[in-house]
């Protein structure tokens, strides 16, 4: 990224790594505006299980893109990209530095590389797919997807009806697979990069934070899940469960932790099983985040357990022209 562009900071890392704490330290030191990059924090009423910053903390350090959707609504990477760009542009116009913090790596990728142009939703095709699923089951639709788009089928679980439906909808509407659309977009991004251009008009400096010892992160995850339960996580999900308009297949309820508590409330898991599976699912999330981060370019790592992360980060940001 050109240093003549306005500055922006990305602060990434796995769940429970200490991203929020470092972001607040940076915001106390630099003229930053915080923008959340988290697919679960967008939902209202989902506070404990998402480790959402407290109301007091949000009052002192406002975060953009938190509490912007009802759990019955979906929120896509394309919507995030549009919302985040608007928030970044508004921060820049006020002479402040956008500081994007969170662990939803797909959202960062959408910002940095743009998104493939996909065909618009088609209510008729979607109704056909839902009727087919009701008749034949989601496994049958997954087999159909594997035949026309094996790459997407490998990425999408048969028990993920929202993404499975969308992938088949894209193919039926356009005659091209979702993977083909994405490959075309990636080729266009490479052409822009070769020409010294990119879809994000910012000088972006990327930081990542995590404990050097993976076992430390696992211990943090287990401790945090136990704390969430003590803080009323089950009661929080009970309120969502009791609404009557939410289903286990929705994006909000599929969030890590929420789906396990939901299954507990439905009687499919005991309390101990729920806690164990919630911890395991969170570890699996962290593993996926590490997988993304290992292949990420231009990433500067910090150790969660280090005592000098703030001065270390500030020195790196200054060297990369984020501030004078």
Of the candidates 252, 219, 215, 224, which has an alpha carbon nearest to the alpha carbon of residue 70? Answer: 252
Edge-to-edge strand list for the sheet holding 32-36:
63-64, 32-36, 97-101, 7-12, 203-210, 299-303
pLDDT in tens, 281-312: 999 999 999 999 999 989 999 999 999 999 99
Which two structure tokens, joined as six digits, stand for 54?
């407290």
Report how far residue 313's alpha carbon sits from residue 26's, in angstroms, rounded to the nearest whole number: 8
Report how far residue 317's alpha carbon sits from residue 287's, in angstroms, rounded to the nearest whole number: 27
CA distances from 117 to 110, 184, 232 (A): 12, 9, 41
Residue 162 confidence (pLDDT) above 50: yes
Count of CA atoms in the C-beta half-sphere (13 A) of 124:
2
Helix (H, G, I), strand (E, B) or coil at 302: strand
pLDDT at site 34: 98
pLDDT band at 190 (very low <50, low <70, confident <90, very high): low
pTM of the model: 0.82
Residue 132 confidence (pLDDT) above 60: yes
Pairing status of strand 299-303 against strand 97-101:
unpaired
pLDDT at site 117: 74
pLDDT in tens, 253-263: 999 999 999 99
Q: In order of start, what are the domains of the chain with their CATH numbers?
A: 7-114+199-319 (3.40.50.300), 123-182 (1.10.20.140)
H-helix or E-strand spanning residue 225: helix 214-231
> Strand pairing partners for 303?
210
pLDDT band at 216 (very low <50, low <70, confident <90, very high): very high
pLDDT in tens, 46-105: 999 999 999 999 999 999 999 999 999 989 898 999 999 999 999 999 999 999 999 999
Question: Are the beta carbons of 46 and 219 closer than 8 angstroms?
Answer: no
């Amino acid at each position: 990224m050109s240093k003549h562009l306005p500055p922006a900071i990305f602060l990434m890392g796995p769940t429970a790594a200490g991203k929020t704490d470092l972001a607040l330290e940076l915001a106390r030191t630099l003229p930053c505006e915080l923008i959340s990059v988290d697919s679960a924090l967008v939902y209202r009423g989902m506070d404990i299980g998402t480790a959402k910053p407290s109301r007091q903390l949000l009052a002192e350090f406002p975060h953009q893109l938190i509490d912007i959707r009802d759990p019955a609504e979906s929120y896509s990477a394309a919507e995030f990209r549009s919302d985040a760009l608007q928030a970044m542009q508004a921060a820049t116009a006020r002479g402040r530095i956008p500081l994007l913090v969170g662990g939803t790596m797909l959202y960062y990728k959408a910002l940095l590389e743009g998104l493939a142009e996909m065909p618009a939703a088609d209510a008729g095709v979607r109704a056909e797919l839902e009727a087919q699923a009701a008749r034949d089951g989601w496994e049958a639709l997954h087999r159909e997807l594997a035949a026309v788009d094996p790459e997407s089928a490998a990425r999408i679980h048969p028990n993920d009806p929202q993404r499975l439906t969308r992938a088949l909808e894209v193919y039926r509407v356009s005659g091209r697979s979702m993977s083909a659309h994405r490959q075309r977009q990636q080729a266009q991004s490479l052409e822009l990069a070769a020409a010294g251009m990119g879809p994000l008009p910012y000088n972006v400096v990327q930081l990542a934070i995590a404990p050097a010892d993976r076992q430390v992160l696992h211990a943090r995850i287990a401790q945090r899940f136990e704390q969430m339960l003590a803080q009323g996580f089950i009661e929080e999900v009970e309120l969502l469960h009791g609404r009557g308009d939410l289903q286990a297949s929705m994006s909000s309820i599929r969030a890590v932790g929420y789906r396990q508590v939901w299954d507990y409330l439905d009687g499919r898991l005991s309390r101990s099983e729920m806690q164990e599976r919630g911890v395991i699912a969170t570890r699996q999330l962290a593993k996926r985040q590490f997988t993304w981060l290992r292949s990420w370019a231009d990433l500067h790592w910090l150790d969660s357990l280090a005592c000098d992360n703030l001065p270390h980060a500030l020195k790196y940001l200054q060297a990369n022209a984020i501030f004078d």
